[in-house]
Structure 1
Amino acid sequence: MQNLVIRNSLLSALKTALIAGTSALMLAGCQGGVLDPKGQVGVDEKHLIVIATLLMLIVVVPVIFMTLFFAWKYREGRTQEIYTPKWSHSTKIELVVWIIPIIIVAILGTITWRSTHDLDPYKPLVHEKDHIVVEVVSLNWKWLFIYPEQGVASINELAFPTDVPVEFKITSDTTMNSFFIPQLGGQIYSMAGMETQLHLIANEAGTYDGYSANYSGEGFSGMQFKAIATPDEAGFDAWVNKLKQSPNTLSPATYAQLAKPSENNPVQYFANVNPGMFHHILHQFMPSMHGEKAVASEQGLDASHTMHDINDEMTMETEK
């Protein structure tokens, strides 16, 4: 029985070491993920992941080593290594077992506390350039990006200048999703009737993959987009001008069609956006307005009429 226990311990330790080694090699060569950041937020998050992993390895590596060593030292047939301890307690071992993990947890807790506040997604990035605003709406199963300052919008394509901070205002028209550009920074959820925020910056020009990191139904796998970091602001202006050549306008009626579930949607541009569209989308799920929308739906009224009614109600409330 003792030999079986030792053998199992040895095999378990070998498996753990093999998995750890294989994972390290795979992560070392990964591209396009969180460990290949192209923006300052992503770089800071990578440093946090690496530091936390190294701190935890201070405990993991010695445990793996000692498991292998003791399994070998007291293996079957090694009669000169008889295990006959003459003690039942060791203060020195207890100190090592408790003090080292406490120190590691204290260091890790301090680093995590500071990083959590420094990397708060709602916290604007300190930068010499003014940020640009992008309003994000997750739909089934596509992403709508509205540029209120430029007056344009797009489906499944996002663009911004390199070295310019971007403020994302995020909501959902349907189930909860998660807005995520791995190479630029952490994800944040999009929820109907709520606005979340995320601040990112790209320090290298390129095209980065973006997608939803939260399962949201059968079309989830195709809910992806491209985030284009243009080399300079002139490149971003050229992208905006390209959108302005589109014949499409994002109006309440157009949005009602977009909101219908569809899969693997192609990139689509809108040259004009009705003012306040993001807030109209956001407030359609507010308690005081949700009942009106439901009644209108039951009566067969067009969704665009409901949006106009919401606008009128918002205006009346503001005047009051």
Structure 2
Amino acid sequence: MGTRSLSFVRRTPWRLLALAPLLPLLAGCNTVVLKPSGDVAAQQRDLLIESTGLMLLVIIPVMVLTVFFAWKYRESNKNARYEPDWDHSTQLELVVWAGPLLVIIWLGAITWMGTHILDPYRQIARIAPDQPVFSSKPPLQVEVVALDWKWLFIYPQYGVASVNELAAPVDRPIDFNITSSSVMNSFYIPALAGQIYAMPGMVTQLHAVINAPGNYDGFSANYSGAGFSGMQFRFHGQSASDFDQWTQKLKSAGNTLDRDAYKQLEKPSENVPVSYYGSVAPDLYHAIVNLCVDTGKMCQDEMMRIDAKGGLGLEGVNNLVPLTYDKFARRGSVFGPEPSYVASLCERPKNSELSFWNQDTLQLRDMSPLRGAGLPAPGTSPEPTSSLSPL
């Protein structure tokens, strides 16, 4: 046994040297999460490191003491203290409970503060440590749409848009409004800030700033279908002059992103190259969020306003027209219903001579606590008050 052990020890350094050529491969490791270029991501990094360090204050002593006790009280150590009747120690109880309790209080305090300070919906108060946000420099507004399977970025302040490419000036706050065209996705630029989900029919927000010029990776962090692996883009941190030149390049592209162009762009496609739009329809993002890009389709916010005033009843059930590639509805499946939506509403005639509008002869039922706004009470008209029109 002694000869074998000695031979193994002699061979081990050579085995380690054989692995040396593989060490340069470690240079490809990306540590952007621990070395970000944006102040928000840097604060998140600090919170991660502080939390890990606090937990290690408990974990490391436990691991060390486990090895120590196993070695000290091994069977062969006849000099170890032996007390078979020992069952309690007040001092030991204080150490065991007080240490973890203090760590939990400390960890809870920094987590609570970090959760509020780094709330993605909260406007950032600084662009870097000891550098407050200047009111003379308005935030850059970016409207983000997660499509199948690419990213659309709209710059409402400049009237331009880009696909799979994003840019922002250094040290200028960025206000992202994020939505999705169909399924839930996740917008993530590790060097800038944490990920935030993109969901259809609603807007999520993210506020951040980039502090160093450079080209950074952005991608989807939530699986969304067959083309998910191609949902990557480049984020360019630029000087103010370079950003102005970049927006001018978009304006010179000449393409117009109106509703018809968006409906073509919205169709599923994979590994889409970068493209630019020199002008954007001003109401496009509102229509995307409210699922009413199709002309004549009722917008979601309008539908909610009607619901708040009493609703449309069964007429509004099929008001959302499914996309042409939705499962069951439009993928050639026989299980999907034919799309339909409310095309128009018939209002009560103001100067009607029809007898059924005569309030003197009409006996209204008490519908309390039902309230309507501009709609006749149920049962007061033999004719339907709205009409359905097929797509």
Deviations 1:65-119 (A, max 9, x none): 0111112222343333364343111111211111111111111111111111111
**Mapping of 1:71-110 within 5 angstroms?**
71-81=70-80, 83-110=82-109
What does residue 55 of structure 2 align with? 56
CA-based RMSD: 2.8
Q: Residues 296 and 28 (structure 1 numbering): CA distance in 2 closer, same or farther, change over 3 Å? A: closer
- 284, 295, 301: which is aligned to 1:277? 284
What does residue 187 of structure 2 align with? 179
**Mapping of 1:299-314 within 5 angstroms?**
none
- 150, 168, 173: which is aligned to 1:160? 168
Say if 2:201 is the partner of 1:202.
Answer: no
Q: Residues 258 and 32 (structure 1 numbering): CA distance in 2 closer, same or farther, change over 3 Å? A: farther
- 252, 265, 268: which is aligned to 1:261? 268
SS of the equivalent of 1:187 reads: strand
Q: Residues 28 and 109 (structure 1 numbering): CA distance in 2 closer, same or farther, change over 3 Å? A: farther
Q: Residues 131 and 227 (structure 1 numbering): CA distance in 2 closer, same or farther, change over 3 Å? A: same
SS of the equivalent of 2:190 reads: coil
Question: Does structure 2 conserve the Cα–Cα contact (< 8 Å) formed by 1:169 and 1:195?
Answer: yes
Question: How much has 1:32 moved relative to structure 2?
Answer: 4.8
Which range moves more in the overlay, 189-198 or 91-100? 91-100
**Mapping of 1:245-256 within 5 angstroms?**
245-256=252-263
What does residue 39 of structure 1 align with? 38
Deviations 1:154-194 (A, max 9, x none): 11100010000000000000111111111111111110000
SS of the equivalent of 1:214 reads: coil
Q: 2:113 & 2:148 partners in 1: Cα distance?
A: 37
Gapped runs of 5+ residues in structure 1? 1-26, 300-305, 314-320
What does residue 243 of structure 1 align with? 250
Q: 1:175 & 1:89 partners in 2: Cα distance?
A: 58
Question: Does structure 2 conserve the Cα–Cα contact (< 8 Å) formed by 1:32 and 1:208?
Answer: no
Bigger radius of gyration: 2
Q: Residues 102 and 295 (structure 1 numbering): CA distance in 2 closer, same or farther, change over 3 Å? A: closer
Q: 1:220 & 1:79 partners in 2: Cα distance?
A: 63
Which range moves more in the overlay, 143-152 or 283-292? 283-292
Aligned partner of 1:264: which letter? N
SS of the equivalent of 2:161 reads: strand
Say if 2:147 is the partner of 1:139.
Answer: yes
Q: 1:174 & 1:76 partners in 2: Cα distance?
A: 65
Q: 1:61 & 1:207 partners in 2: Cα distance?
A: 39
Identity %: 50
Q: 2:28 & 2:106 partners in 1: Cα distance?
A: 29
Q: Residues 295 and 110 (structure 1 numbering): CA distance in 2 closer, same or farther, change over 3 Å? A: closer
Question: Does structure 2 conserve the Cα–Cα contact (< 8 Å) formed by 1:176 and 1:191?
Answer: yes
Q: Residues 79 and 32 (structure 1 numbering): CA distance in 2 closer, same or farther, change over 3 Å? A: closer
Question: How much has 1:259 moved relative to structure 2?
Answer: 1.0
Q: 2:259 & 2:27 partners in 1: Cα distance?
A: 48
Q: Residues 33 and 293 (structure 1 numbering): CA distance in 2 closer, same or farther, change over 3 Å? A: same
Gapped runs of 5+ residues in structure 2? 1-25, 126-132, 293-299, 304-315, 331-338, 346-391
Say if 2:200 is the partner of 1:192.
Answer: yes
Q: 1:242 & 1:73 partners in 2: Cα distance?
A: 72
Deviations 1:224-278 (A, max 9, x none): 1111010x21110100111112132111111111111111111111111011211
TM-score after normalising by structure 1 = 0.80
Question: Does structure 2 conserve the Cα–Cα contact (< 8 Å) formed by 1:32 and 1:182?
Answer: no
Q: 1:29 & 1:210 partners in 2: Cα distance?
A: 18
SS of the equivalent of 2:62 reads: helix
Q: 2:138 & 2:204 partners in 1: Cα distance?
A: 20
Higher relative contact order (CA 8 A, sep 6+): 1
Paired positions, count: 278
Q: Residues 200 and 296 (structure 1 numbering): CA distance in 2 closer, same or farther, change over 3 Å? A: closer
Question: Does structure 2 conserve the Cα–Cα contact (< 8 Å) formed by 1:251 and 1:273?
Answer: yes
Runs of 4+ in 1 over 2 A off after TM superposition: 27-33, 74-86, 285-293, 295-299
